[in-house]
């Protein structure tokens, strides 16, 4: 749960973003507009050789993903797996900073996401992803 929602429930929480420390954390900020998130996102898109602006708003990113996720091509599958692991990786990093009190750099988070994507990919997609060097 993002801290803006916790605050709405009356839960005392640090409302600034745990990743960039700059703004009240919300779903749209965490997954769309956060500087940290966008650094990771930009590196992942560079890794899979997709040319998309790293600083799209949350709504623009959602629109872009929905469009990219149509179809059954290898590229589509790669975009889907990278996007879902990106969301998971950002969520995990946020929780680790809150509960584990550890802090990874955007570079470390990106590397972990690329490793998980390579492990999760199957068949032709795995071969294609392993050709991409990060």
Chain residues in the site for Zn ion (CB under 5 A):
17, 19-20, 34
Nearer Cβ to Zn ion (77/86): 86
Nearer Cβ to Zn ion (17/78): 17
- Of 94, 88, 86, 87, nearest to 110 (Cα)? 86
User: How does DSSP assign 94-126, residue by residue?
Assistant: HHIIIII-----HHHHHHHHHHHHHHH--HHHH
CB of 90 to Zn ion, least distance (A): 10
Nearer Cβ to Zn ion (28/132): 28
Cβ atoms of residues 24 and 32 within 8 Å: no
CB of 41 to Zn ion, least distance (A): 12
Nearer Cβ to Zn ion (41/78): 41
Give me 56's structure tokens: 């799209």
Instruction: Spell out the long-range contacts of 91-95 with Cβ–Cβ below 8 A and sequence spacing 24 or more.
Output: 91/30, 93/19, 93/36, 94/18, 94/19, 94/30
CB of 29 to Zn ion, least distance (A): 6
CB of 36 to Zn ion, least distance (A): 6
């Amino acid at each position: 749960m993002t801290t803006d929602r916790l605050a709405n429930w009356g839960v005392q929480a640090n409302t600034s973003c745990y990743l960039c420390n700059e703004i009240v954390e919300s779903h749209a900020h965490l997954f769309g507009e956060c500087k940290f998130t966008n650094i990771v996102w930009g590196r992942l898109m560079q890794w899979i050789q997709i040319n998309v602006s790293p600083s799209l708003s949350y709504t623009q990113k959602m629109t872009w993903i929905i469009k990219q996720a149509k179809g059954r091509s290898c590229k589509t599958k790669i975009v889907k797996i990278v996007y879902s692991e990106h969301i998971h990786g950002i969520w995990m990093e946020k929780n680790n900073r809150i509960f584990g009190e550890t802090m990874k750099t955007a570079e470390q988070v990106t590397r972990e996401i690329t490793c998980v994507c390579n492990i999760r990919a199957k068949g032709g997609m795995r071969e294609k992803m392993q050709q991409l060097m990060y």
